[in-house]
Amino acid sequence: MRRTSVLVSVLLLGLAAALISRDPQADARLKKAWRAPEQNGWIMAHLEGSPGQIGFQHGYLLAPEIKDTFRDVSTEAAHDEKRDWEFFRQTAREVFWPRVEQEYRDELTGIVEGLNARNVKLDIWDVVALNAWLEQSYYDRTLNGGEPAATAEHCSAFVATGSYTSGGRIVIGHNNWTSYSSGERWNVIFDIAPARGNRILMDGMAGLIQSGDDFGVNSVGIVITETTIGGFKGFDPSGVPEFVRARKAMQYANSIDDFARIMKDGNNGGYANTWLVADSRKNEIASLELGLKNVTLRRTSDGFFVGSNFPADPKLIAEETNFDPADRARGENARHERWLALMEQYKGKIDVAAGREFLADHFDSFEGRNDPDERTLCGHIDLSPRGSGAWQSAYGPAGAVQSKVTDAAGAMKMSFMAALGHSCGVGFKAAPHLAKYPDFAWMKDILHDMDSRPWTAFTAK
How do the pLDDT tens digits run along the chain, 461 residues long? 333 333 333 333 333 333 333 455 679 999 999 999 999 999 999 999 999 999 999 999 999 999 999 999 999 998 888 889 999 999 999 999 999 999 999 999 999 999 999 999 999 999 999 999 999 989 987 776 655 554 445 799 999 999 999 999 999 999 999 999 999 999 999 999 999 999 999 999 999 999 999 999 999 999 999 999 999 999 999 999 999 999 999 999 999 999 999 999 999 999 999 999 999 999 999 999 999 999 999 999 999 999 999 999 999 999 999 999 999 999 999 999 999 999 999 999 999 999 999 999 999 999 999 999 999 999 999 988 755 445 555 668 999 999 999 999 999 999 999 999 999 999 999 999 999 888 899 999 999 999 999 999 999 98
Start-to-end C-alpha separation, the chain: 54
Question: What pTM was computed for the model?
Answer: 0.92
Please state, in angstroms and rounded to a whole number, the distance separating the CA atoms of residues 271 and 141: 12
Phi, psi of 392 (to 5 degrees): -60, -40
124: Cα within 13 Å, side-chain hemisphere:
13
Burial of 456 (0-12, 13-18, 19+ CB in 10 A): middle
Nearest to 162 by CA among 336, 285, 286, 345: 285
Q: In the chain, where are the structural domains located?
A: 29-459
Helix 102-117 and helix 63-81, axial crossing angle in degrees, nearest 10:
110
Query: Which amino acid is located at 98 in the chain?
Result: P
Give the single-character DSSP code of 150: S
Fold of 29-459: Penicillin V Acylase; Chain A (3.60.60)
Please state, in angstroms and rounded to a whole number, the distance separating the CA atoms of residues 461 and 459: 6
If one counts every other C-beta atom within 10 angstroms of the C-beta of residue 454, the result is: 13
Please state, in angstroms and rounded to a whole number, the distance separating the CA atoms of residues 259 and 254: 8
Burial of 10 (0-12, 13-18, 19+ CB in 10 A): exposed
Please state, in angstroms and rounded to a whole number, the distance separating the CA atoms of residues 272 and 277: 15
Going by their DSSP bridges, the two strands 188-194 and 43-49 should be labelled as: parallel
Please state, in angstroms and rounded to a whole number, the distance separating the CA atoms of residues 79 and 414: 38
Phi, psi of 31 (to 5 degrees): -55, -45
Radius of gyration in angstroms for the set of CA atoms belonging to the chain, rounded to a whole number: 23
Please state, in angstroms and rounded to a whole number, the distance separating the CA atoms of residues 48 and 61: 12
Residue 119's region, left for phi above 0, alpha for psi from -120 to 50, else beta, is left
> Quick check: helix, strand or coil at residue 264?
helix
Q: 157 and 306 in contact (C-beta within 8 Å)?
A: yes
